């Protein structure tokens, strides 16, 4: 009888070992799955950051072009000739696969040029909303 009870005790210990091994396997699988999810999320966030940086670059070029046009409209009234020195850079076309988020609206050509500051300010106010909209802080 004593041998049978020792065998039962051994079987009980082996069952506990199997139970512990199963729980460790389950925990390891869970950790592996969460690591996989974290990697995918990190990759997604990196891709979004790259796209945001590209879009910010395009927005900067458009803002610089708008500034140069506005300074050209104002003329040399109080800008000490800075508008004439600034070159307007052509905005590069975005690579394939990246669509523009906000297409530029066409600007009607000016009918006549005036030298008065009041007329220049009125011309600036009539420009598309790209100049009249508040500038968002890219660092925020």
pLDDT 10s digits, 50-90: 999 999 999 999 999 999 999 999 885 555 555 455 555 55
pLDDT the model gives residue 52:
97
In a domain, 137, yes or no: no
With b for 16 or more beta-carbon neighbours within 10 A and e for fewer, the 21-31 pattern comes to eeeeeeeeeee
In a domain, 138, yes or no: no
pLDDT the model gives residue 114:
47
Q: How far, in Å, CA of 17 to CA of 134, rounded?
A: 67
pLDDT the model gives residue 140:
45
Enter the pTM of the model: 0.41
The yes-or-no verdict on residue 132 having pLDDT over 50 is no
pLDDT the model gives residue 41:
97
Rounded mean pLDDT of the chain?
Answer: 76
pLDDT range class, residue 5, cuts 50, 70, 90: confident
pLDDT the model gives residue 49:
97
Mean of pLDDT values over 101-111: 57
The yes-or-no verdict on residue 134 having pLDDT over 90 is no
In a domain, 47, yes or no: yes
In a domain, 116, yes or no: yes
> Which of 50-54, 97-101, 136-140 has maximum average pLDDT?
50-54
Taking the alpha carbons of 114, 117, 119, 121 in that order, is the dihedral positive or negative? Answer: positive
pLDDT the model gives residue 102:
54
In a domain, 140, yes or no: no
Domains in the chain, number: 1
Which residue range is the domain that position 76 belongs to?
2-132
Q: How far, in Å, CA of 109 to CA of 120, rounded?
A: 14
In a domain, 139, yes or no: no
In a domain, 28, yes or no: yes
């Amino acid at each position: 009888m004593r041998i049978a009870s020792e065998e039962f005790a051994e079987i009980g210990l082996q069952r506990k070992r199997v139970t512990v091994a199963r729980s460790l396997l389950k925990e390891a699988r869970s950790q592996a799955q969460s690591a996989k999810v974290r990697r995918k999320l990190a990759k997604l966030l990196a891709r979004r950051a790259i796209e945001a940086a590209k879009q910010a670059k395009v927005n900067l070029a458009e803002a610089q072009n708008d500034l140069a046009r506005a300074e050209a409209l104002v003329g040399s009234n109080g800008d000490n000739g800075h508008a004439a020195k600034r070159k307007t850079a052509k905005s590069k076309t975005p690579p394939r696969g990246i669509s523009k988020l906000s297409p530029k609206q066409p600007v009607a050509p000016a009918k006549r040029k005036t030298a008065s500051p009041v007329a220049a300010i009125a011309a600036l106010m009539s420009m598309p909303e790209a100049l009249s909209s508040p500038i968002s802080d890219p660092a925020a």
